Structure 1
Amino acid sequence: MQGFAETDQQLMAAGQWRDPVTKLIWMRCSIGQSWSGSTCTGDPLIFHDSKDAENAIKKLNAAGGFAGKTNWRLPQIKELVTIRKCSQGWRKIGDINLPERERRNFGQDHELEMTKIPKGGKVPKNCTVHSTAPTLDTHIFPNTPPNGEYWSNSFSWQPIGYQYKAWHVAFGSGFVARTINYTDYQGLARAVRER
């Protein structure tokens, strides 16, 4: 027996959003917030590393999930970057305040400043200055903290210090970066599912 497919409108009313490009379904609220039927309420939980965020989502699934679904997970960085929205566009190399001789190493002024992410190629590194924070669509993701930094489940090996670094997005500026996991860093989480 096949389950019925929910419309985008039904998903939105249930605190979920289907990305029309990736087809991923996102929780509209951060982990720790509650869906009231029209907005996200309460404060998001703070996680000191991506594993804690991942475990919180596993506990959510084990307790019955959200909106009747129990296949929520922490997104990969290549997925998390797709929900960024820069009101003033992406930062270009010419926006970086560097001496001319150093700027030549970065590329042409009109080119976007890019960063390489695991399994995702290169993506714009962050939004231009003066982009509205948070750098995502607040009609889709209401009450997202303006400077929230969100964990992904993607890691890179850092040869210096021999540590894994977890990738995250700082939605205050749309900045994509990695940080040492298991530190005093504080991040938030947003869950995603395939169907």
Structure 2
Amino acid sequence: MNKCRHVYPIATLMIGLLNSPSLFAACFANIISDTPNSRYQIQANPQEVKDLKTGLIWQRCSLGQTWNGLTCEGEALTYTWQEALKAASEFGRGYQLPNIKELRSLVNKACINPAINSLLFPNTASFPYWTSTPVQFEPTYSWSVVFGAPFLPESSAGETSGSLKSDKYHVRLLKVSDELAR
């Protein structure tokens, strides 16, 4: 009977550790980074970075987190696909949910768990993020990008997945820079 009481706290601790955004983050020096620091420019508002290759301006933190001047604090919230679209619309200031091509442009195959430049996008959750792109011919599905997870093979980092729109995933917003909007 006493043995069972110890299982729950240990299981809770393990689940908490697996959900920790950067606990298992690793980058490999022998693989060239897809997203080197030089590709990005921190904006006047340091909560934003501009991708100099695509011209897109990204929020550094996932929705639910806040920028404290050094890192993203708090818990990245999860949303259904419809909730994610609504949250992006309500965020305002030109922000939107990225399409599949835009979100995949953040993937850094040289890193796992998460497969993203964690200096510029700190405390990114390794789990899936919504895109605005619905799955063709599957009205109940939309595309998501998996930045990795402790229980997935390394090759899964940065992969896309058709996901039920009712699933709850993370959100990272972007806006189009003034140069692209012209």
Deviation of the 1:35 alpha carbon: 0.8
Query: The residue matched to 1:8 in structure 2 has which SS?
Result: strand
Deviation of the 1:10 alpha carbon: 3.5
1:73 aligned onto 2:96: yes
Aligned partners of 1:80 and 1:8: how far apart in 2? Answer: 17
1:56 aligned onto 2:95: no
Aligned to 1:174: 158
The 1:134–1:30 alpha-carbon spacing in structure 2 relative to 1, beyond 3 Å, is same
Kindly indicate whether the alpha-carbon contact (under 8 Å) linking 2:41 and 2:51 is maintained by their aligned counterparts in 1.
Answer: no
Aligned partners of 2:88 and 2:113: how far apart in 1? Answer: 25
Aligned partners of 1:39 and 1:168: how far apart in 2? Answer: 24
Aligned partners of 1:25 and 1:10: how far apart in 2? Answer: 9
Aligned partners of 1:10 and 1:181: how far apart in 2? Answer: 33
Deviation of the 1:177 alpha carbon: 1.3
1:37 aligned onto 2:69: yes
Aligned partners of 1:15 and 1:30: how far apart in 2? Answer: 11
Normalised TM-score (structure 1): 0.62
Structure 1 residues not aligned, in runs of 5+: 1-6, 62-69, 88-130
Aligned to 2:173: 191
Amino acid at match of 1:179: S
Deviation of the 1:188 alpha carbon: 0.3
Kindly indicate whether the alpha-carbon contact (under 8 Å) linking 2:142 and 2:163 is maintained by their aligned counterparts in 1.
Answer: yes
Deviation of the 1:174 alpha carbon: 1.2
Query: The residue matched to 2:130 in structure 1 has which SS?
Result: strand
Aligned partners of 1:45 and 1:52: how far apart in 2? Answer: 11
Deviation of the 1:138 alpha carbon: 0.2
* Displacement over 3 Å in runs of 4+: none
| C-alpha RMSD of the superposition | 1.8
Aligned partners of 1:31 and 1:77: how far apart in 2? Answer: 18
Structure 2 residues not aligned, in runs of 5+: 1-39, 149-156, 178-182
Deviation of the 1:163 alpha carbon: 3.1
Amino acid at match of 1:26: W
Aligned to 1:18: 50
1:137 aligned onto 2:121: no
Normalised TM-score (structure 2): 0.66
Aligned partners of 1:60 and 1:80: how far apart in 2? Answer: 18
From 142, 151, 156, the equivalent of 2:135 is: 156
Q: Is the helix fraction higher in 1 or 2?
A: 2
Kindly indicate whether the alpha-carbon contact (under 8 Å) linking 1:157 and 1:164 is maintained by their aligned counterparts in 2.
Answer: no
Deviation of the 1:166 alpha carbon: 0.3
Aligned residues: 130
